[in-house]
């Protein structure tokens, strides 16, 4: 049976040992990821930022509740750590229903999906993470489930085989992915509400930092919160991680609160620069510039040169570098922009492409 978790949103987080072990973008889920559950917003009100997306969702949720119908299926698209899993849980909370969570690689056989779908109660939320990794047989089964709230189940073999249509309760599928381009168009077209996450605005990041500091009962000065927010690559998960590190540095140095000098010192030690780039981000840009003459270089070649997985490069590093205007994806490969040369203080960028900032994601797709 596929690993599955059924929880009432808003309920206290499960004990750490109940959260399945697994891989998270090539990293093992650490104790810190488990602790992050306590910082997860439960309601739309607590879910900060993504204003356009949130406003629309509020309307759709209200309308579905008033009609006493299941909410249309949602497709959540965006880089890691921007709040896809969180939003799925928030939606279940707002719909006052339960959420059943799994991820595509865990749905190994059609039987796994049948087991989950036939156990769903009316208007439950069913969350499938990494939906771009569904097996074809499971995906086809999901088409009918999404459209007609029925399942096709084949019994017997050969000429005597029969297909049974099993009715299931109306439910809301929430599918999340970091790779929208890898999801087949028949599946995409069955989601009524596509939501594309943007990197968070600075003001929203600051609000997230302050909220998390409050929950962690950690004092942080306004100027410190502002610098931390600007250095967290527009990503709440990164902001929460940095906040914990700052808290460590403040505690060990005996500072009563996180002040701007504490943040500055910690960022220096963590090798995070004023654009929020980590060492690995700068090394990627330096590799393109120095070894590949600024590009274009193919993603796979670049990933091998960096000793990274191509998925990590494409899902984690590139979206932020593109948004920051430092990298461009072209049909011939990745290119460092003039801004990347300038940022790394490498001469020769004058003739390079000018990066465009922040044009990748914006609110709902339609």
Ligand X SMILES: Nc1ncnc2c1ncn2[C@@H]1O[C@H](COP(=O)(O)OP(=O)(O)OP(=O)(O)O)[C@@H](O)[C@H]1O
Q: Scan for tokens 């939501």, then name that residue.
A: 195
Long-range contacts of 56-59 (CB under 8 A, 24+ apart): 56/193, 56/363, 56/364, 57/91, 57/193, 57/195
Torsion of CA 50, 56, 60, 63, to 10 degrees: 130
- What's the rounded Cα separation, in Å, for the pair 60 and 148? 20
Q: 43: helix, coil or strand?
A: coil
Q: Is 91 in the site for ligand X (CB under 6 A)?
A: no
Which of the residues 36, 102, 112, 129 is marked catalytic? Answer: 129
The CA distance from 97 to 171, in Å, is 10
Residue 103 within binding range of Mg ion, rule CB under 5 A: no
Give the nearest residue (CB) to Mg ion: 85
Q: Of the two residues 40 and 334, which places its CB atom closer to ligand X in the complex?
A: 40
**Active-site residue, 129 included:** yes
Binding test (CB under 6 A) with ligand X, winner from 53, 70, 85, 126: 85
Q: Provide the 10 A C-beta neighbour count for residue 105.
A: 15
Residue 352 near residue 327, CB atoms below 8 Å = no
Among 175, 234, 236, 355, binds ligand X (CB under 6 A): 236
Query: Site for ligand X (CB under 6 A): which residue of 9, 53, 77, 84?
Result: 84
293: left (phi over 0), alpha (psi -120 to 50) or beta: left
Catalytic residue among 36, 40, 85, 102: 85
By the rule CB under 6 A, 208 interacts with ligand X: yes
Does 178 participate in catalysis according to the annotation? Answer: yes
Both tokens of 319, joined, read 């979206």
Known catalytic residue at 85: yes
187 binds, among ligand X, Mg ion, none (CB under 5 to 8 A by kind): none
* Long-range Cβ contact pairs of 251-258 (< 8 A, separation 24 or more): 256/219, 257/218, 257/219, 257/220, 257/221, 257/224, 258/213, 258/218, 258/219, 258/220, 258/221, 258/224, 258/225, 258/228
Phi-psi region of 328 (alpha: psi -120 to 50; beta: other; left: phi over 0): beta
What secondary structure letter does DSSP report for 232?
Answer: S
Determine contact, residues 79/316, Cβ cutoff 8 Å. yes
- Interface with ligand X, residue 178, by CB under 6 A: yes
Please identify, using beta-carbon distances, which residue of 103 and 212 lies nearer to Mg ion: 103
Footprint on residues 66-95 left by Mg ion (CB under 5 A): 84-85
Rule CB under 6 A: is residue 328 a binding residue for ligand X? no
**Residue from 71, 74, 82, 321 that binds ligand X (CB under 6 A)?**
82
How many residues sit in the footprint of ligand X (CB under 6 A)?
20
The residue (of 89 and 97) whose beta carbon lies closer to ligand X is 89
Does 39 contact ligand X by CB under 6 A?
yes
**Catalytic pick among 237, 282, 334, 352:** 237
361 binds, among ligand X, Mg ion, none (CB under 5 to 8 A by kind): none
Report how far residue 57's alpha carbon sits from residue 63's, in angstroms, rounded to the nearest whole number: 10
Considering the complex, state which of residue 90 and residue 227 has its C-beta at the smaller distance from ligand X.
Answer: 90
Clarify whether 40 is annotated catalytic.
no
Residue 174 near residue 26 (C-beta atoms within 8 A): no
- Residue 98 interacts, among Mg ion, ligand X, none and using kind-specific CB cut-offs from 5 to 8 Å, with none
The verdict on 101 binding Mg ion (CB under 5 A) reads no
Q: Is 78 or 294 the residue whose CB approaches ligand X more closely?
A: 78
Picked from ligand X, Mg ion, none, the partner binding residue 75 (CB below 5 to 8 A depending on kind) is none
Of all residues in the shown chain, the one whose CB is closest to ligand X is 83
Structure tokens at 22: 């697994």
**45 part of the active site:** no
- In terms of CB distance, is 4 or 255 closer to ligand X? 4
Binding site for ligand X (CB under 6 A): 36, 39-41, 47-49, 78, 80-86, 178, 208, 236-237, 240
Residues catalogued as catalytic? 84-85, 129, 178, 237
Binding site for Mg ion (CB under 5 A): 84-85
């Amino acid at each position: 049976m596929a690993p599955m978790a059924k929880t009432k949103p808003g309920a206290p987080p499960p004990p750490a040992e109940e959260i399945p072990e697994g891989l998270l973008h090539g990293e093992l889920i650490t104790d810190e990821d488990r602790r992050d559950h306590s910082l997860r917003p439960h309601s739309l009100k607590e879910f900060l930022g993504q204003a356009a997306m949130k406003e629309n969702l509020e309307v759709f949720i209200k309308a579905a509740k008033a009609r006493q119908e299941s909410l249309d299926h949602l497709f959540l698209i965006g880089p890691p750590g921007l709040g896809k899993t969180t939003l799925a849980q928030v939606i279940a909370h707002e719909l006052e229903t339960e959420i059943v969570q799994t991820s595509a690689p865990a749905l190994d056989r059609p039987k796994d999906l049948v087991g989950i779908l036939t156990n769903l109660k009316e208007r439950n939320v069913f969350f499938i993470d990494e939906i771009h990794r569904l097996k074809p047989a499971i995906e086809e089964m999901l088409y009918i489930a999404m459209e007609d709230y029925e399942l096709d189940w084949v019994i017997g073999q050969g000429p005597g085989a029969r297909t049974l249509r099993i009715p299931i309760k109306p439910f809301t599928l929430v599918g999340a992915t970091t790779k929208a381009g890898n999801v087949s168009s028949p599946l995409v077209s069955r989601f009524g509400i596509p939501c594309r996450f943007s990197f968070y605005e600075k003001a929203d990041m600051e609000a997230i930092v302050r909220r998390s500091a409050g929950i962690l009962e950690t004092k942080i000065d306004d100027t410190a919160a502002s610098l931390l927010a600007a250095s967290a690559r527009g990503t709440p998960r990164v902001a929460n991680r940095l906040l914990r590190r700052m808290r460590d540095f403040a505690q060990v140095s005996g500072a009563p609160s996180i002040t701007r000098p504490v943040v500055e010192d910690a960022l220096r030690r963590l090798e995070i620069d004023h654009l929020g780039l980590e060492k690995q981000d700068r090394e990627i840009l330096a590799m393109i510039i120095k070894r590949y003459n600024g590009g274009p270089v193919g993603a796979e070649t670049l990933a091998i040169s960096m000793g990274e997985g191509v998925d990590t490069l494409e899902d984690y590093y590139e979206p932020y570098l593109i948004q920051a205007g430092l990298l461009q994806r072209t049909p011939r490969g990745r290119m460092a922009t003039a801004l990347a040369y300038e940022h790394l203080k490498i001469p020769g960028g004058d003739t390079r492409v000018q990066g465009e900032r922040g044009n990748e994601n914006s609110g709902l797709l339609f």
